[in-house]
Amino acid sequence: MHDRRRVRVFCYATTAADGSAHRAKIEREAGVFVACAAWPTQRIVERIAADGIHVLVNLNGYTKGARNEIFAARPAPVLVAFMGFAGTLGAGWCDYVVADPVVCPPWTVRSEVRAGRRRRLAAAAAAAAAQGAQGPRPPPPLDFGELDPEEDAGAWVYTERMIYMPHTYFVNDHRQGFREDDELRALAAAPGDALWRAEQDARHRMRRELFPQLGDGVFIFANFNQLYKIDPQLFRLWLRILERAPSAVVWLLRFPAAGEDHLRRVAREWAGDAVAARLVFTDVAPKHMHIKRGRIADAFLDTTECNAHTTAVDILWSGTPVLTWPRHEHKLCSRVAASVVCAAVGADAGQMVVGDAEAYVDRAVRWATEATYTYEYAYPPADAAPAPAPALDAAPAAAPMRGILDPDPQTGLVQHKLCGGPAMDLRFRLFMQRDQSRLFDTQRWTRNLERGLEEAWRRWVAGDDDLIEEEDCDGRDDWDGRDGRDDWDGRDGRDDRDDRDDCDLIGDDVQRRVEWSRWIEDDIAECLAKDPKAPVFAPPGRSIWVCDEDDAMPAQTWVREMLAWNKD
């Protein structure tokens, strides 16, 4: 999907071929594919340098089989980390991380903390100058240089700068690779609610096939992650949900199989036999079936220490709502599901994202206890009348469309199960609008990534990669107050300066973070007002914010939105 007129993709495969269809697709579609798994590091470094790579992307990070020594040698001018490792590499040889402000809030990023401290010092200097009008001009803010990674403030995590994507950093190919069965695809353009009715029938049929022992009134929570992601605190929350929602079950995978007996035993010890009996396990399914049967679940309970990543995208594509709690600001892996939910439903993300353990339990219980079930009965669609014989050169006619559910042999009627409630309302939106969702718009995502990488390269060429005394889009210097504006506190009529330590700017005070979000939004809005088609907002030495030219909720607004997740 890359624009081959501007981008040439080289793929250096440091793992051996596994014979999979995915590997074959990569080998076939990469502009240049180099199988170098058996090569020594020096040879790979020399090959990358000889190829003249501008931006080298690390897809492994600190994972099994990674070859980070290649990146430490800096065979390309700009080094970027993406996807493979959910966190900072903490290494001087990594320049950027492809992220979004939900998974990596700006106040956890070293370059942003440094800029914020400079901004606050400058505002204080400007205020002092205004109060002592006759005195000499205050000196410009001191350049802090690199922040000390061992400082006691604990105010930042990421040593790299961010390439902030406008919707989510997480890429997928579901819209191209995982479509419905033929029985639903034929209704994709049907008027009215025919597609939605057919999807409900398909869910009902698959549910009865997989769980014939469960009644129609049972609410199915699911989690398809590997079982190691279930920590004791989270498991207690799930048991509390089952205690408060007696008609619900939690569906897990034998992933691994040995985990089933252990979880059942702990559930009996902590909550009793009745609750433990409502843990339901099935085997792991092949990828295509895994995505299809995700529709069976009424809701997905995310793991909170390490979220569902690809699994969350799979589930959202199936239309199933995801309940997630981005538990830690400093852990990217605990915030991924919130990121993809934001991209899936935009400003309504707060319906699936909560801010604490109690809200997590209460929201799940509400979804289960407020679910409703009704039935409609109708005769199946009649078979199409025989068509006239086609011409010899005509394409074969499509088979007549039959109903998804079988009719009752005695009455001839089909029972259609209709579900309602808050979780079903979310499902309707997720399923019916997924082809318009930013989460599944891979072409748009690719175009935005190219903008971010091109800016990283432009910076390197221009040599303006370091934090300098910042200027806004019209060239005015906003750090020292010389244009008469105090950009930190003047916009809301409040004076937010005080004598607290600079690191409080990004500390636990929510109000400080609200001010931070206002600062970022105002700066980006000011730039876009002057150039609505600006591809990025990229103050020197700081993170790159990629701008989407057709977006109602750009990335910077999520800095403010996610502060509201603590309110249920």
Q: How far from the centroid of its chain's Cα atoms is residue 472's Cα?
A: 30
Q: List, for residues 232-255, the tens digit of each pLDDT value.
A: 999 999 999 999 999 999 999 999
Are 170 and 340 within 8 A, CB to CB? yes
Q: How confident is the model at residue 209 (pLDDT cuts 50, 70, 90)?
A: very high
321-335, 392-406, 458-472, range with the lowest pLDDT: 392-406
pLDDT at 476: 36
| pLDDT given for residue 373 in this prediction | 93
Q: How far apart are CA 134 and CA 141, in angstroms?
A: 20
Label residue 517 by pLDDT band (50, 70, 90).
Answer: confident
pLDDT of 222 above 80: yes
Q: What is the pLDDT of residue 294?
A: 94
Asked whether the beta carbons of 296 and 207 are under 8 A apart, the reply is: yes
pLDDT bracket for residue 481 (50, 70, 90): very low
Among 105, 104, 115, residue whose Cα is nearest residue 147? 115
Sign of CA dihedral 56, 62, 66, 69: positive
> Which residue would you say has higher pLDDT here, 329 or 145?
329
Give yes or no for a contact between 242 and 278, defined as CB atoms under 8 angstroms apart.
Answer: yes
Range from 62-66, 242-246, 415-419, 564-568 carrying the lowest mean pLDDT? 564-568
Closest CA to 514 of 471, 476, 566: 566
Sequence-distant (6+) residues with CB within 8 A of 230 are 223, 263, 303
Q: What angle do CA 323, 556, 94 make, to 5 degrees?
A: 90
Query: What pLDDT, in 10s, does the model give residues 448-466?
Result: 999 999 999 999 999 887 6
Q: In this predicted model, what pLDDT tens digit does every residue of 127-136 receive, in sequence order? A: 777 776 555 5
* Tokens matching residue 291: 């995505």
Return mean pLDDT, the chain.
83
pLDDT > 90 fraction of the chain, expressed in percent and rounded = 57
Residue 421: left (phi > 0), alpha (psi -120 to 50), or beta? Answer: left
Query: Residue 126 has what pLDDT?
Result: 78
Average pLDDT rounded to a whole number, residues 305-313: 96
The answer to whether 259 and 289 have CB atoms below 8 angstroms apart is: no
> Percentage of residues in the chain with pLDDT exceeding 70?
80
What's the Cα-to-Cα distance from 282 to each of 122, 202, 216, 236, 257, rounded to whole Å? Answer: 60, 20, 19, 21, 9
Give the pLDDT score at 502.
35
493: confidence class by pLDDT, cuts 50, 70, 90: very low
Q: Look at residue 560 in the predicted model and tell me its pLDDT.
A: 72
Rounded CA-CA distance 409/453 in Å is 62
CA distance 559 to 105: 7
- Torsion angle in degrees (nearest 10) through CA of 401, 402, 404, 408: 170
| Angle of the 310-317 helix axis to the 336-345 helix axis, nearest 10 | 30
Q: Per-residue confidence at 193, pLDDT binned at 50, 70, 90?
A: confident
452 phi, psi to nearest 5 deg: -65, -45
Supply the pLDDT for residue 149: 55
Integer Cα distance of 89 and 69 in angstroms: 13
Burial of 387 (0-12, 13-18, 19+ CB in 10 A): exposed
Amino acid 134: pLDDT = 52
Local structure of residue 565 (DSSP, 8 states): G
Q: What is the mean pLDDT of residues 491-516?
A: 48
**The pLDDT value given to residue 113:** 85
Helix spans in 51-187 (H): 68-72, 110-131, 174-177, 182-185
* The pair of three-digit structure tokens given for residue 175, joined into one six-digit string: 């819209």
> Does the structure show a pLDDT above 70 at 539?
yes
Identify the pLDDT of residue 154: 57
Tell me what pLDDT residue 495 has: 35
Pick from 165-174, 378-387, 486-495 the range whose average pLDDT is largest: 165-174
pLDDT of residue 488: 35
Q: Which residues contact 176 (CB under 8 A, 6 or more apart)?
A: 442
pLDDT digits (tens, 9 = 90+) for 19-36: 998 899 999 999 999 999
Grade residue 357 by pLDDT with cuts at 50, 70 and 90.
very high
Structure tokens at 157: 């995590």
Residue 6: Cβ-neighbour burial (10 angstroms; 0-12, 13-18, 19+): exposed
